[in-house]
Structure 1
Amino acid sequence: MYLRPMYPIKAAAELVGLSTETLRAWERRHGAIRPVRDAQGRRLYNPETIERLSRLHRLTDRGHPIRDLAALDDDALDRLLEDGRRAAYGGVEGLPSRMLDAIADYRVDVFDRDLSVAIATLPMTVLMTRVVMPLLREVGLRWADGRLAVAQERLVSSLLRMRLLAILSPPPREQRPRMLFATLPDERHELGLIGAALQTLEAGMPVLYLGTELPALEIVRVAVKLGAAGVALSSVDPQQARPALEELRRLDAGLTPGVPVWLGGTNARYLAEELASARIHAVGDAQSMTRGMASHAGRG
């Protein structure tokens, strides 16, 4: 017989990113949720209640008072979320061009303000696919035809990196196995890897971003020490494909059995085919990487 999973309050709080104190307050003070109790009187939360808590969390983050949300059913909460999505996405298509127009005039404050608002209001997948990636493509086009100077291109990259990495700061006391993100020696391209890390974090998986140009044995040392759930790497520079093979062989040999390695970037397919290792997977984009990680975690 199938038994539905039930979560104690600490596990429920971790799943939805709230404190146990907040969960108790939303129950006692506002009646927003109704957990069941076990024989010892401890609160237990079923999957439906976890989903409701997630909706409430997203809406309170957007400024809706919990007192106004508590009496609403789940359909009403979903409608509020959809209304917020439509409002937030209103001008997103033209945002990359407007931000680069600001950089062309060295109006860094305007660029940074627009980027900060996008980060605060857009889901991570939308932020990456409709703002960050189009922005990077437009940077390449403007640099190629002379509308953007090298200094301006580097300014965009540094501002993006600063703001996006701030989101990846690991929460204190995070105990669950993390996905590690890094690049191998002499591989400096990282914005795509940062995007994949952000989408993995958005999907609810703990992330530790290690940065660029790390030797494989250093990554192994961290992965073993922390009991990592997996390793994600980006390899973009064609000149680094052959050296990356040797580093990946060291990584494959050193990691604990069952820990997967996800490769993104233009070299990923070549590297995975050359290595032919059961643990190493090439992925085409950040969404594919995140789906693969989630699927592997679900089997673990």
Structure 2
Amino acid sequence: MYPIKAVAELTGISAETLRAWERRHGAIRPVRDAQGRRLYDAATVERLGRLFRLTGRGHPIRDLAALDDAALDRLLDDGRQAAYGGVELLPERLLAAVAAYRVDEFDRDLAVAIATLPLPVLLGRVVMPLLREVGVRWADGRLAIAQERLVSSLLRTRLLAVLAPAANDRRPRLPFATLSGEPHELGLLGAALHAHEAGVAVLYLGTELPAEEIARVATHVRAPGVALSSVDPGQAPAALAALRELDALLPAALPVWLGGANARYLAEELRSPRIRAVTDPGTFTRLLGSA
């Protein structure tokens, strides 16, 4: 049996909302201890998880409150199946929306995909194909800098919510960042989501961090490694200097994983045992498992 504070931490639902769902809608029925405090069993916590996911997709709690757990599961499954139907076409649809600066359309379709698709499907069939195509179109000039930045900002807003740590997760975190002068973060976001799906606690720092700051954060959080991305060829010399500084500042043997178009060049130039270029998600997942 869990007290209301623990349930709020486990489910992400505030204590005030839990009380409202009980009193106003009758969606749950906790028991009371001798002092009158609410207690929730494991089945109720699981039900709350279903309700939380469905309300996040736009279902009003008043419509869900009277449904039993089997009906809630069917509703969740219906949403997943409906989203699967056109998932292969979604990256192209998102790119068409951003090409025409239809921000509301892009954001709506992305939000539905995040809410309805399991993370492996979201990554493998939506996010990663979208990132690859954005990179190709940006490189050959079909996507303007403003459009690439727009994709980045919209993805960042939505996907960072996926990466948000649970309140009770105290594990050491793996920092993700780009070095100073490197504003491109789409590949970094994709790598952070892969790590999250692999069960790694992620600390997403974002773009353009000095080597000294990255080293300070990694040391402070007892990080199992550091994940960096470098894409812009014009930034390769500066990235090389920053990585040499980072190599000297980090604790001994702490691994550094490099992704992005510059990764192979940088790793070969540095020849540091700790710094490794990572060019595919499968290799990254294996490295994370051995860290």
Please report the TM-score for the alignment, with normalisation by the length of structure 1.
0.67
Asked whether the 8 Å contact 1:262–1:289 carries over to 2, the reply is: no
Pairing 1:91–2:86 present? yes
Q: 2:146 aligns with which of 128, 139, 155?
A: 155
- The reply on whether 1:252 has 2:250 as its aligned counterpart is yes
Q: Distance in 1 between matches of 2:90 and 2:156?
A: 20
Name the CA shift for 1:45/1:291 in 2 (closer, same or farther; >3 Å): farther
Whole-Å separation in 2 of the counterparts to 1:165 and 1:237: 19
Q: C-alpha displacement at 1:34, in angstroms? A: 3.9
- Whole-Å Cα distance in 1 between the matches of residues 287 and 79 of structure 2? 25
Shift of 1:197: 3.8
**TM-aligned CA distance change 1:75 to 1:181, over 3 Å:** same
Question: Which of these residues, 54, 77, 80, is aligned with residue 59 of structure 1?
Answer: 54
Using the size of structure 2 for normalisation, the TM-score is 0.69
The answer on 1:285 being equivalent to 2:277 is no
Unaligned runs of 5+ in 1: 1-5
CA RMSD of aligned residues (A): 4.7
Q: Secondary structure at the match of 1:209?
A: strand
Question: Does 1:121 pair with 2:117?
Answer: no
Contiguous gaps of at least 5 residues in structure 2:
none
- Out of 44, 47, 50, the residue aligned to residue 49 of structure 1 is 44
Change in Cα spacing, 1:225 to 1:252, as seen in structure 2 (3 Å) is closer
- The alpha carbon displacement at 1:175 in A equals 8.1
Q: Distance in 2 between matches of 1:69 and 1:261?
A: 47
Which residue does the alignment assign to 2:100? Answer: 107
In structure 2, C-alpha distance between the alignment counterparts of 1:262 and 1:48, rounded to whole Å: 41
2:157 corresponding residue in structure 1: 166
Instruction: Check conservation: 1:199, 1:286, Cα contact below 8 A.
Output: no
State the Cα distance separating 1:245 from its structure 2 match.
5.0
For the 8 Å contact 1:196–1:290, the answer to whether it is kept is: no
Q: Deviations over 1:148-204 (max 9, x none)?
A: 635x34233111111122233798xx6865653212345444211123445667899
Question: How many residue pairs were aligned?
Answer: 278
Aligned CA distance change for structure 1 residues 227 and 15 (closer, same or farther; 3 Å): farther
Between the aligned partners of 2:200 and 2:36, the Cα distance in structure 1 is: 30
Of 120, 135, 148 in structure 1, the residue corresponding to residue 130 of structure 2 is: 135
Matching residue of 1:3: none
State, as a whole percentage, how many aligned pairs show the same letter.
Answer: 57
Q: Which residue of 1 aligns with 2:16?
A: 21
